[in-house]
Amino acid sequence: MTKVSFHELATLDVAAREALFKRSEADLTSFIDRVKPIIEAVKSEGDAALVRFARDLDKADLDASRLKASEAEFGAAFKAVAPEVIEAIRFGIDNIRVFHEEQKPEPMWLKETRPGGFAGDRFTPIKSVALYIPRGKGAFPSVTMMTAVPAVVAGVPNLSIVTPPTPDGGVDAATLVAARLAGVETVYKVGGAQAVAAVTFGTETVKPALKIVGPGSPWVVAAKRLLSGIIDAGLPAGPSESLIFADDTVHGGLAALDLLIEAEHGPDSSAYLVTHSRRVAEEALAALPQHWAKMTEQRVAFSQTVLGGPYGGIVLTPSVEESIRFVNDYAPEHLEILSTDPFSHLGQITDASEILMGPYTPCSIANFGLGPNAVLPTSRWARTWGPLSVNDFMKRSSVGYVTAGAYPDYARHARTLAQYEGFSSHYNAVSDMRDPYLKG
């Protein structure tokens, strides 16, 4: 039987406990060094570098004339994708759109904070955003849905998708279908660090963007980090991670089934079952071989690497309270609360980007179109970041307005603080020096 990492929390010292919180992209030093020349090549050579990297890194047959997906490729995609897959994509897009339309803020609000003084916010879409859709360990039309729909709902006028090319120089067909159904027309066949560089600087084919969003490999994360001073790199979304928090009201086999969802993404994923119930832990261990027997060989290899390595496995805690403490300390990307009464635990969860409750809400349903966004912060960034949302595609401007009648009172207080802080121009702008201009 494949060895699964098993940790009894009560026996671990502080260092060993802290080690459980590490993710695969925690140290990007080696990737940073390898990404730098890729970025410089794209910046200086443009399309020629993208074609070379497509050949050398993606093993794709591609030339500069085919870097952008054609209308013919979109048409062929709809013929190639099975009707039931298109129906599932439509189903997911509909749900995601409804959720994000509810999330969208009003274009502007103003509140009279005191008579004659008004303050508020105005929301406008970012002018250009690139959506990164990974492909290295599979095809992800679901990521296209999750990134494109809120961007379209927000009203971003210039949207593009960057995604690694297939070996024949094409694009995953379902990704093209999802892009078109969501409302994105521009798809570039560029992946990895070179994609981040391309949308940062622009090339002969790829138009530059002000922001890039979407999950990616450590290569992508490293490139975003290096270029974050030039392009808005969005929320920190790296390799997939999940915690399955199970109390003693569920069967461990169910916990094991859901533990494999994010673990199968790739060997750099993170996935733990956290429970205070030894019965649940033992049932999960016993069930894993049965579940692996019904998975494809590649996904078995990925998940076994994760669950048998330093970034996954089973954590047995002394109590429900300690399980919840572990969850909050870990701050997971995906969290499932497996319990017949999940709402009893919800109020104690403070740090998790996505919280899925009960035995009928596995990550699979959320990933493919429950409505809330499945592009989420990783590496404990759930402590300060939330899921991708309409707000990530909009910018907020503060709005203020003071009437003539209210001005004297505001000016008096402003003069007091300007004088205290030593700003003479601040003071002068609200002193009697202003009066002749106002009267004139």
Given the DSSP bridges, would you call strands 334-338 and 108-114 parallel, antiparallel or unpaired? unpaired
139 CB-contact burial (10 Å; exposed 0-12 / middle 13-18 / buried 19+): middle
Of the residues 283, 334, 345, 354, which is catalytic? 334
Is-contact 190 161, C-beta < 8 A? no
Please name which of 64, 59, 190 lies closest in space to residue 131, comparing C-alpha atoms.
190
Cα 80 to the chain's mean position, in Å?
29
Contact criterion met (CB below 8 Å) for 361 and 53: no
State the virtual CA torsion across 324, 327, 331, 336 in degrees, nearest 10: -100
Distance between alpha carbon 247 and the CA centroid of its chain, in Å? 28
**Nearest alpha-carbon partner for 392 in 200, 184, 126, 185:** 126
Determine whether 265 is an active site residue: no
C-beta of residue 214 within 8 angstroms of C-beta of residue 144: no
Active site residue 334: yes
Report helix, strand or coil for 324.
helix
Would you give the DSSP letter of residue 333? Answer: S
Distance CA 332, CA 260 (A): 15
CB atoms near residue 33 (< 10 Å): 10
Task: State the residue for tokens 């086999």.
Answer: 253
Round to whole Å and give the CA distance between 128 and 346: 37
Contact 194, 188 (CB under 8 A): no
How far apart CA 28 and CA 32 sit, in angstroms, is: 6
Q: Cα dihedral angle (391, 230, 146, 185), rounded to 10 degrees?
A: 110
Catalytic residue among 241, 264, 333, 354: 333
Catalytic residues, by residue number, are 333-334
